[in-house]
Structure 1
């Protein structure tokens, strides 16, 4: 993220409103550009098929749920390795061992493909839907997993423009391909042909995005050594808490959906479990915290990062005790100011949307159950976003134990409270998500300022115990010998 901060700092040096506007636009581009492009692509595919009279709502539902499953489980699968690999790549770059970076990408991709293939195989054997559709889902699922992998490396190399352009090209291809199929090859005779066409168009677009990112990877990393591609696995022995932090946080995003699906969800084609009202409400609630990530990147990566860098430079380069204490006080002050501003701005946005959902939206939208759940999940999404920010800041200071406990509390808090409120009925479904997010936010906030208050002590006196040899190190050696 420091690379983003450097470019934002240049924009903020010019004290003009236009420069600040550019900084916020750039932050939006970095944090949410690909995500928004994917959402708009899906919406456009659905709008295009509205012109076809024989396309049923069930076709659109099958397409949406299939894509949702692919995104959901690819995120959870990727989350287990995400933070560990990030740490490994960061260490390689810090130690000037760039030749190891691309090699780790090859190993990371191989492990990801194997895990994704195994997960899909379980799904395919249990699902009664046709194998043609299953294979289409397999293509999308594997490509999404590999796209997340490449995003990690390209973001680390600050190649944000290539990322956004690849997603934009994929979105344009998906929409254009479906439009051409509708105009020149209008075959909608089969019951689920429309869903197949939407899925095929979207998967084709993701393939364009995938190949665009592959080209960017080859250009970004000219030193493409393939020696020791599985060496990064040894970091799971050294930084195992990072793996569990990633998996618990990503699973925590969806655990309330899974519990509600099992309790009162509906079946589609005997394969997909879902709850229309809750899934829709939670999706829109997540969209409301988009400003959180934009403001975080702008505020934390500019003012706070400068103080953070100064504090640790005094520690690493032999600053005096007075310099260290003064820089720590300044860092904590700016951190509090930026977090207060973040909470204030996002709080105002969430409150405004909540009032809108209570007073105005019922006049135009008749889906009462979705609106009721949306009102409570707006609040939960606010605390969810704040929890993520606190967890990222804990990782800034290498408080891996604090970040792990936050992720575990996030997952378990949402799971337990969701189960507790199940007997209250559908109107209370979002309560567990909100309370679990609130609990993890309170803990992570207290942990962050307790830890930062002793940042000098932890930097000088406390060391994390890590293992240089363990089961993952031995697994890496076996895989190296095998290939």
Structure 2
């Protein structure tokens, strides 16, 4: 799945500063394009659409955007993890005919689930007008489509299409806000939806050009979700872990909760620092995507490819040690890089917190969020390596641990007051990182065992065949 990564890595090898910067920018948009676009939209609207601090239209727009981002992350998480596995397996086998169908099927499932959640909520739980409800539901579909398209585009080398789509979408959105500013939620959502539609259209065009428009049904997609049943659970718990602390704060925080349109509850004093902290990790994610993932792919391909070439045990051990050393060194290096970014952000916040839309009272939450970002993002890198090794149950354990701890610690510290906001996420992230490092360090020496036994599909097939043909205890001699 390192398709675009290889192309971007070649760009960074050149002498041009612009090509290097462009490669990392492309990687950031591919990793979290819809999230970046959402934050840019909220920030841009805040600056251009309304000058009053209590602008109701802006608050409604902001709340709808946050709710839709939360819902799409939770609903697309399981689908994206399954589709990523399906697409990578089929590209490896050079079977491309059903890839477009897999996107259409996953998007159809998302649309049904999103409508079942979004329509009752916006119609009966809020007092939004009819046009506002339609615009909110349209936004829900467009954001979900963007998140689902990313796993498919990540397998191609169409980085120019990705960058052009995001550039045009952002330009259209910003131009519309500057040329005709306004504060009505319908208008703000319409402008954002137009920009996002252009992005989705560009990504879908690249998908169609790469794999065609033919929808060839394939039951293997459903079989993938069944065989690798851990993947949808990983996607669900991973997304829920990112949002559970916000949901708890919205529902139970004693102070700072903002309610608009009756049912849209958010907590800007908590949400904004957490969002900025998550964005601070994007440069390191881009480095991981461009360099670490591509180099790891080469090492893992050499290691697993040698299994079919009757490699000697000594050479296999050398390749395993080389790959294990690479993983350990990169996790440590990425952790240090994240720590440096968090430290710089904390220092900058002392003198430039207002440009981020924050107040001095939110600095404590921002610092806790930045430290938590270092721990959580490092845990995510360990989590990704475990998925590369196909150790899905360990990855599931990490995502479930973070989800449960983030919810429990946020709830436990909530009665202690404003000074402890954000520390539940920090503690959950730190514990999750320790667990992730422990599991990764324990399993790296056992990669040979996992390759030959744990993840050996022929052995699993044989075990199922033997289990199916074995006589049952209830079967007597004459049965």
Q: TM-score range by the shorter chain?
A: 0.7 to 0.9
The answer for the alignment partner of 2:477 in structure 1 is none
| Structure 1 pair 382–32 and aligned structure 2 pair: CA distance change class (3 A) | farther
Cα separation, 2, equivalents of 1:397 and 1:305: 11
**Structure 2 match to 1:127:** 126
Aligned to 1:460: 452
How far is the alpha carbon of 1:400 from its aligned partner? 0.3
Question: Which residue of structure 1 lines up, in the alignment, with residue 308 of structure 2?
Answer: 316
- Given the two structures, how large is their TM-score scaled by the length of structure 2? 0.87
Equivalent residue, structure 1, for 2:225: 236
**Counterparts of 2:158 and 2:317, CA distance in 1:** 36
Cα distance in 2 for partners of 1:395, 1:139 equals 33
Partners of 1:255 and 1:411 within 8 A in 2:
yes
Are 1:360 and 2:338 matched, yes or no?
Answer: no
Aligned pairs for 1:142-221 (under 5 A) are 142-182=141-181, 194-221=184-211
> Structure 1 residue 369: deviation in Å?
2.6
Deviations 1:143-172 (A, max 9, x none): 111122222212222322212221222222
Is this contact kept in 1: 2:324–2:444, CA < 8 A? yes
- Is the Cα contact below 8 Å between 2:37 and 2:170 reproduced in 1? yes
Q: Equivalents in 2 of 1:459, 1:19: separation in Å?
A: 41
Q: CA deviation at 1:297?
A: 2.2
The 10-residue stretch of structure 1 (28-37 or 445-454) with the greater mean CA deviation from structure 2: 28-37
Q: In 2 relative to 1, CA 392–214 (structure 1 residues): closer, same or farther, beyond 3 Å? A: same
Q: Give the drift of 1:368.
A: 2.9
Residue 396, structure 1, aligned to residue 388, structure 2: yes
Structure 1 stretch displaced more, 275-284 or 310-319: 310-319
Aligned CA RMSD, in angstroms, stands at: 2.6
Distance in 2 (alpha carbons) for counterparts of 1:302 and 1:155:
12
Match for residue 227 of structure 1 among 196, 200, 216: 216
Counterparts of residues 18-417 of structure 1 (less than 5 Å): 18=15, 22-23=19-20, 25-32=22-29, 34=33, 35-50=35-50, 56-123=54-121, 124-182=123-181, 194-222=184-212, 224-228=213-217, 231-264=220-253, 265-357=257-349, 359-361=350-352, 367-417=359-409
Q: Is the Cα contact below 8 Å between 1:105 and 1:229 reproduced in 2?
A: no
Tell me, in whole angstroms, the C-alpha distance in 1 between the residues paired with 2:446 and 2:399. 22
Using the TM superposition, give the Cα deviation of residue 141 of structure 1 relative to its aligned residue in structure 2, in angstroms: 0.4
Does the Cα contact within 8 Å between 1:8 and 1:302 map onto a contact in 2? no
Distance 1:23 1:399, change over 3 A: farther
Q: CA deviation at 1:38?
A: 4.4
Runs of at least 5 residues in structure 2 that lack an aligned partner in the other structure: 465-479
Q: CA 1:309/1:231 → structure 2, altered by over 3 Å: closer, same or farther?
A: closer
Contact 2:60 2:260 in 1 (8 A): yes
How many residues align? The count is 452
Where does structure 1 lack aligned partners over 5 or more consecutive residues? 183-187, 469-483
1:299–1:163 Cα change, 3 Å: closer
* Shift in CA distance, 87/369, structure 1 to aligned 2, threshold 3 Å: same
